A and B are shown apart, each in its own frame.
Chain A
Amino acid sequence: MTATARVLPAISTGRRVKNTFVQGLVWLAFGLAIIPLISVLWLVVKNGLARFDLTFLTHSMRGIAPRDAGGGAYHAILGTLEQVAIATVISVPIGLLTAIYLVEYGQGRRLARTISFFVDVMTGIPSVVAGLFILAFWILILGFGFSGFAGALALSILMMPTVVRSAEEMLRLVPTELREASYALGVPKWRTIVRVVLPTAFTGIVTGVMLAIARVAGETAPLLLTVFITNSINEDPFNGPQMGLPLYIFDQMGRPNDTAIDRAWAGALTLILIVMLLNLVARVIAWWRSPAKAR
């Protein structure tokens, strides 16, 4: 036995190597995940700027042949705004009321558990299926034509479960004591919900709604089946085919010439800006709210 016997046992090289190896893999995974994000954003900005001009934002594609330069996405931007607004008006009340039912009235009931389960399942419905449903039901069976409103119906099916989930989460954050204090004053439950619970959860719900809007604003497939495609400005969402920004990108990128592809990139840039703006505003609202929560 030597005097310099090691006090600390050595960790085997195998274990060390494995540990370092996994660490490397994990960093690599993160790098791999970020590369496409950078690539997509970079190409969208680089290629999108070529046509991201005033003409693009203020003109439609009316009278512009595929090979022509010029033309814009005004009709598509307008359509998207209208469609998303209508979808919001439809899905937020339904989603919010459902969330209220789940949190305030349904606790432990079988119906609530069923609804909750299917809300989760509903988040997984492919958007193209939502479009097909509106196509089958609204357009083919009820006989309404293609319209922005039909597209909004399809979008609202995609929005509802997201709104329910985020609103539910926010309502659950409202402390029970707040409700009980209100009940103790003899305030009926529904008025407690409307006057106390909803205002407390308000900013959180708004954040959730904005994220839901951001999500459906980029949906293309449901619009393709319900709004159809037009090159002209159609301000009326209830009559006749409209355009939507995602649809516009899809339409332009399918045309095999550079002027159309440029327009597609500019459309993509516009869409990403809109979506990112919505995300950012939602984040700012959420951040704004957080000091209040700590209070």
Chain B
Amino acid sequence: MATSLRTREGGPATGRSASRHDRGEGPFRFLTTGAGILLLAIMAAIAVFLVVKAIPALQQNTSNFFTEKLWTPNGAEPRFGIAALAFGTLISSLLALLMALPVAVGVALFISHYAPRRLAGVLGYLVDLLAAVPSVVYGLWGVIFLVPFMSGPATFLNTYFGWIPLFAGDAVYGRSILTASVVLAIMILPIIAAISREVFLQAPGSLEEASLALGATRWEMIRMSVLPFGRAGVVSAAMLGLGRAMGETIAVALIFPATFEITLRVLSANGNSIAANIANGFGEATVTGRGALIASGLVLFVITLAVNMAARLIVARRSFGGAA
């Protein structure tokens, strides 16, 4: 800051040359660049340190980490694997996406093209509020309200759609993959809706008018001139939502039955996810147990990283007029 005093009144007289000799410029530039590089370093460090702490535990593992379903890393003979957890993460997230995506696209269209203009802003804000609710509150709501509530719909699905393997089984439970997926769906809905809304609003008005002038109904107009433009954005929003769902921890930690089975029966008392298992298992974890959880976190990190990068690349490849 000492140098800044000298050049404070660096008016026209000193001109351009002042900026070249200004002693603040170099350090400031260095600071800003350094901050950016620090962010990259943090990303790298996350990967590196997770690997470093995972390796000792993986070496202790008496089973194959990728194919083993059980998670018993705390005993004398640690035996743990990611298979069931990864499967549970995938199926619950995909199911959540399946439920959230159509609703989110509908909400986005509602805000961008159907809601009365004056209300659209407020209604959009309401949907954004869904994203402001902390995940632990969804967890509490899920455990106390949704788990008992879901036994009704679950019984219905099991009774009438039991022939679909997803809904098969002799008994249904409130704490299930399905219930966890519903909570996840609610949580990822706002982000998918917000991004989709933005891309729908960016659809060129001239094309909307072109289709209306051809005698298109509102829906036909949307199909002709809004959806073709929004497609890439919606796909990428869906992937971002998927990434969120896979990483969500606390909201589902007490909803998953926390078993280590691989099953498609989403109404049964089975199901778990990598993130939920970390939250639930951390308290009792031994040194090896913690390492094992870190190893599972590394897997989660890699999967969500891949999903997120794919989502960003889709948008980058097909960006319309500088849309972020």
Contacts and interface: CB of A to CB of B under 8 A. Distances in A.
Interface of A: 11, 15-16, 18-19, 22-23, 25-30, 32-34, 36-37, 39-41, 43-44, 47, 93-98, 100-102, 104-106, 111-112, 114-115, 117-130, 132-133, 135-137, 140-141, 157, 160-161, 164, 183, 185-191, 193-194, 214-215, 217-221, 224-225, 246, 249-250, 253-254, 261, 264-265, 268, 271-272, 275-276, 279
A219 B139 CA distance: 12
Count chain B CB atoms within 10 A of each CB in A30, A187, A190, A253 and give the residue with the most: A30
B213 interface: no
Given A15-B217, A115-B40, A136-B52, A188 B29 contact: no
Interface residues of B, number: 101
A225 B282 contact: yes
Contacts of A268: 136-137, 140
Contact of A246 (B102, B114, B250, B311): B250
Contacts of B143: 253
A39 B39 contact: no
Contacts of B45: 133, 137
Interface in B1-55: 4, 7, 10-16, 18-19, 22, 24-25, 28-29, 31-40, 42-43, 45-46, 49-50, 52-53
Contacts, number: 292
A27 B52 CA distance: 51
Contacts of B215: 11
B126 interface: yes
Count chain B CB atoms within 10 A of each CB in A40, A106, A111, A214 and give the residue with the most: A40
A217 B73 CA distance: 32
Interface in B46-71: 46, 49-50, 52-53
B243 A124 contact: yes
Contacts of A106: 33, 36
Interface in B268-308: 275, 278-279, 282, 290, 293-294, 297, 300-301, 304-305, 307-308
Given A15-B217, A105-B32, A118-B39, A126 B50 contact: no
A279 B129 CA distance: 9
**Which secondary structure characterizes the binding site on chain B?**
helix
Contacts of B43: 118, 121-122
B39 A40 contact: no
Contacts of A25: 106
A43 B301 contact: no
Contact of B250 (A28, A40, A117, A220): A220
B139 A276 contact: no
A129 B46 contact: yes
B10 A117 contact: no
Contact of A272 (B42, B105, B133): B133
Given A111-B36, A132-B293, A268-B137, A26 B109 contact: yes
Contacts of B109: 26, 29
A128 to B, nearest CB: 4
Given A186-B14, A218-B136, A265-B140, A126 B246 contact: yes
Contacts of B114: 23, 26-27
